[in-house]
Every structure is written in C-alpha cells, then in structure tokens.
C-alpha cells in the first residue's frame, strides 16, 4: 500500500497533476441509520486502503428522497463518482441512455458471473450483455417480526406462522396491544401486500402477476384470497399511528405491538437494542408459511466520467465491493445477506442465518423492483397506501390492481 501511495504521489508530481484529486470519489447513498452508517464506514475504510479517497455523499430521508437527487445530478451533468440504487430497474434508463459506465472488464477479472449468487442480481445489472453495476448486498422483504413479550402479556403462545398470528390477534387486542404495526409511508403498505402475495399465494402466483403481468390471474380467485388476507391485515393494523418503519419496529421492540411485516433491515433495530432472537423476539421468514425470499437489496452504479484517473478509481471501488472480506464486514454490520455464496458468515445471528440458508437453497424470487418499472411500483404504492388507510372494498381494490397490472411495464 505504501508503494502504491508513493507511486501515486510520484505520478501526481511528475506526469499528471490531476491524479491526486482524481482519486477522490464521491459516493452518494441513503444509508443513514445507525447500522447502515457503520456498514458504510467499512466500505469507505476498505476503499481508502487502496490509496483512493472516499468522499461521503450520504443523503438522509430514504430512497424516495435520495433517488431524485441522484438522478438529477447524473442527468444534469454533475455526476458523482458512484451511487447506490436498489437492485432492479431504478437506473434502467440512465444505463440505456449511456450515462453509466460499463464494468464488464472488472466483472470478468473478478469472475462475477461465477461468484455472485443468486444470478438474477447480476442479470439486473446487465444491459445488452454488458455489466453496469456492482451488487453489494441482499435484503428480503418476507419477514414477520414478533414481540415475545406482547404475546406473553396476552397469554397466548408466540405464533409460528401468519395464520396463527391472525388467530391470536383478538387476544392481543383484548390485552390492549396493537396486533400489527404498520408505518404510514406508502412503500410499507406496498411491501406488506407483496409479502402476503408471495408468502400466502406462492411463488407461481407472484411471478404470474408481476413477471408475466397476467391481468387475468390478477383478477382471479387466487388473488381475491390475497386481497382478503390484506383486508384482514388492514383490520389488524388499524390504530398504528406511526410514519417511519423503524417507529413501527420500535412498537414491536417495546411490546406495544404484536408484530410487524418488514424486510430484514428491521433486524438491525433489534440488535441495536440488544435483543436476542428467540427469547425477546421471533422472526418468521416467508411469514412462516412459504420459505421463499425475494432478493431485494442494493447495488452501486458508476456514472460515466471523462476523467480517466477517476474512472480507474471506480474500477477499484467495484473490485472492493465484491471482495469477500468486505462482503463479510459490510453485511454483518448492515444485517443483510452477502452477494456471494462462497464466504463464511458464522458471525451472523440466528435470523440472518435462516435467511442465508433459504437463499443458499435457492428458494429465491426476483424482487418487484426488478420485475416492474418505478412507475408501476408507484401506482401500486398509491393503491396500497390508500387501501390500508381507508375502507375501500376488497373488490374495488382488486379491480384497480388489475388495471395497474394490465398497463404495467
């Protein structure tokens, strides 16, 4: 490392006066909660160790706030060195219009095609055979988090699946406990619905609706069952007057609510509060019914830059991200599953291990972010947030859902 730094200084003084400045790489992301920030620190440290400099560009306020800022910077001609997006189609048009850098060389050198698992992560980075992003972690949505204390207060056993949870709800209510915690932000209602769909309806139904966009299936009796379940969930969630997902998680954490359906990033909140899986809280992947997890998560994209030295630094960052050591360090802090199957995650806690095992078995499905466009996703969010906060009938909601699916792309 010292030799490389020395070489950099030499190069900077002799040949390329812009080299030192060029090795500064601004990385924008929305990892701002406690566990997330710790994970970013790992990544920044590993990148700095290569002789380059990580310039942190954290944007507070979740992806919905951060993405418009990132996109307008890239389209407006002021690209950063690298930026976070979720796996999927959020950066699709940026790639199509040639604003992103092709990483195929780095990918080939690092044998990404062989090490990155599941393969669909790399597929969503690929456009016309070239690779445009480096996947960094896997998150899945299909988790039911339960407060053991709440069920103890209510005098019922901790449920083993969604159906038992629904059955236990009256007892919770009687004890003055909110059965299901649900934050008011639209993406949470949408995520809850999609989780019910894949966990209760199965992977086939999920793929027919979101992958094939089959309006007939969306209008069919199987989906009607999902909407009935969502109606039940709506009833159980009534009264949780919170906005943010971590406030809802906090209700479960403190035993004020029985459970919450939320992605495995909620894990970070539990471990931050020093709770132990199994005794303080219970996690049920696939809602305890269907062991299939979707592979959401984050990837780093690299805007096309004119500066050669900066482009070189982008390659280095891409290599760093996929590096096994960084994968372990980063994902342990973040509470997510690493993107390669060939590393040891012995330090992970029980819930994380359950998730890793399911993904290793190959029981994965492509996430909705990858299957449908941001536009369709937003329409779904609008529908679901309205559904969960109002009293529109199941029938009307399904009819509107069919409309969205039939015009989805």
Partner 1 sequence: MAKTHQSARPNQLFRNLNSKIASIPMIFVALVIFLGGSVWTVIYSFTNSRLLPRATFVGFDQYERLWGSARWLISIQNLAIYGILSLIFSLVVGFVLAALMDQKIRFENVFRTIFLYPFALSFIVTGLVWQWILNPEFGIQHIVRSLGWETFEFNPVYDPDIVIYGILIAGLWQGTGLVMCLMLAGLRGIDEDIWKASRVDGIPMWRTYLFIVIPMMRPVFITTLVIIASGIVKLYDLVVAQTSGGPGNASEVPAKYVYDYMFQAQNLGQGFAASTMMLLTVAIIIVPWAYLEFGGRKRG
Residues found near partner 1 in the complex (CB under 8 A): 64, 67-68, 71-72, 75, 90, 92-94, 97, 184-186, 189, 241, 243, 373-375, 377-379, 382-383, 385-390, 400, 407
Q: SS3 for 127?
A: strand
Q: Which helix (H) or strand (E) holds 301?
A: strand 298-301
Q: How far is the CB of 83 from partner 1 (least distance, A)?
A: 14
Q: Which is nearer to partner 1, 62 or 271 (CB)?
A: 62
Shortest distance, position 39 Cβ to partner 1, whole Å: 25
- Of 135, 70, 127, the C-alpha closest to 102 is 127
Q: How far is the CB of 375 from partner 1 (least distance, A)?
A: 4
The gap between the terminal CA atoms of the chain, to the nearest Å, is: 48
CB nearer partner 1, residue 13 or residue 407: 407
Q: In degrees, to the nearest 5, what angle opens at C-alpha 62 toward C-alphas 57 and 65?
A: 80
Q: Give the contacts of 101 (CB within 8 A, at least 6 positions apart).
A: 132, 302, 303, 304, 305, 311, 314
Using the minimum distance from each CB to partner 1, give the nearer residue, 21 or 97: 97
User: What's the DSSP call for residue 367?
Assistant: -
Supply 327's token pair: 């994968």
Least Å distance between CB 115 and partner 1? Answer: 31
Rounded to an integer, what distance in angstroms lies between the CA atom of residue 126 and that of residue 132?
6
CB closer to partner 1 out of 24 and 386 = 386
Q: How far is CA 311 from CA 69, 101, 230, in A?
A: 22, 9, 47
Cβ nearer to partner 1, comparing 280 with 386: 386
Between 107 and 177, CB nearer to partner 1: 177
Shortest approach of partner 1 to residue 215 CB, angstroms? 16
Minimum CB separation of residue 406 from partner 1 in Å reads 12
* Residue 129 three-state SS: coil
Work out how close the CB of 393 gets to partner 1 at its nearest, in angstroms, rounded to a whole number: 13
Task: Name which of 106, 35, 58 is nearest 316 in CA terms.
Answer: 106
- Number of Cβ within a 10 Å radius of residue 272: 15
Task: Of 142, 18, 12, 66, give the one whose Cα is nearest residue 298.
Answer: 66
Q: How many Å separate Cα 192 from the centre of its chain? A: 14
Nearest CA-CA partner of 78 in 28, 127, 135: 28
Q: How far is the CB of 296 from partner 1 (least distance, A)?
A: 17
CA distance 158 to 71: 44
Tokens of 63: 């992806």
């Amino acid at each position: 490392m010292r030799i490389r730094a020395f070489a950099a200084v030499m190069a900077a003084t002799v040949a390329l006066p812009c080299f030192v400045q060029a090795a500064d790489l601004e990385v924008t992301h929305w990892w701002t909660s406690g566990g997330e920030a710790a994970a970013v620190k790992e990544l920044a440290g590993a990148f700095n160790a290569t002789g380059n400099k990580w310039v942190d560009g954290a944007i507070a306020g979740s992806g919905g706030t951060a993405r418009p800022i990132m996109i307008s910077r890239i389209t407006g001609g002021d690209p950063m060195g690298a930026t976070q997006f979720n796996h999927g189609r959020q950066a699709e048009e940026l790639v199509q219009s040639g604003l992103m850098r092709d990483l195929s060389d780095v990918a080939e050198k690092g044998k990404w095609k062989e090490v990155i698992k599941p393969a669909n992560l790399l597929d969503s980075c690929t456009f016309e055979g070239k690779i445009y992003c480096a996947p960094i972690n896997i998150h899945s949505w299909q988790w039911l988090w339960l407060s053991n204390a709440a069920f103890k207060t209510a005098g019922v056993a901790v449920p083993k699946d969604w159906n038992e949870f629904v059955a236990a709800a009256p007892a919770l209510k009687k004890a003055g406990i909110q059965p299901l915690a649900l934050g008011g932000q639209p993406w949470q209602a949408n995520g809850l619905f999609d989780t019910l769909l894949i966990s209760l309806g199965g992977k086939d139904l999920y793929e027919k609706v979101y992958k094939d966009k089959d309006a007939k299936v969306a209008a069919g009796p199987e989906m009607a069952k999902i909407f009935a379940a969502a109606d039940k969930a709506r009833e159980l969630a009534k009264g949780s007057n919170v906005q943010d997902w971590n406030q809802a998680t906090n209700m479960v954490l403190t035993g004020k609510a029985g459970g919450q359906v939320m992605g495995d990033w909620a894990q970070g909140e539990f471990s931050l509060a020093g709770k132990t899986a199994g005794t303080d809280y219970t996690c049920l992947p696939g809602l305890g019914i269907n062991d299939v997890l979707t592979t959401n998560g984050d990837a780093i994209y690299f805007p096309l830059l004119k500066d050669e030295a900066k482009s070189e630094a982008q390659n280095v960052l891409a290599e760093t991200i996929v590096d096994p050591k960084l994968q372990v360090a980063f994902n342990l802090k973040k509470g997510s599953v690493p993107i390669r199957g060939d590393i040891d995650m012995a330090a992970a806690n029980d819930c994380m291990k359950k998730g890793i095992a399911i993904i290793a078995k190959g029981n994965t499905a492509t996430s909705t972010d990858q299957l449908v466009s941001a536009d369709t996703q937003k329409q779904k969010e609008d529908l679901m947030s309205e559904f969960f906060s109002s009293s529109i009938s199941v029938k009307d909601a399904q009819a509107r859902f069919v409309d969205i699916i039939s015009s989805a792309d």
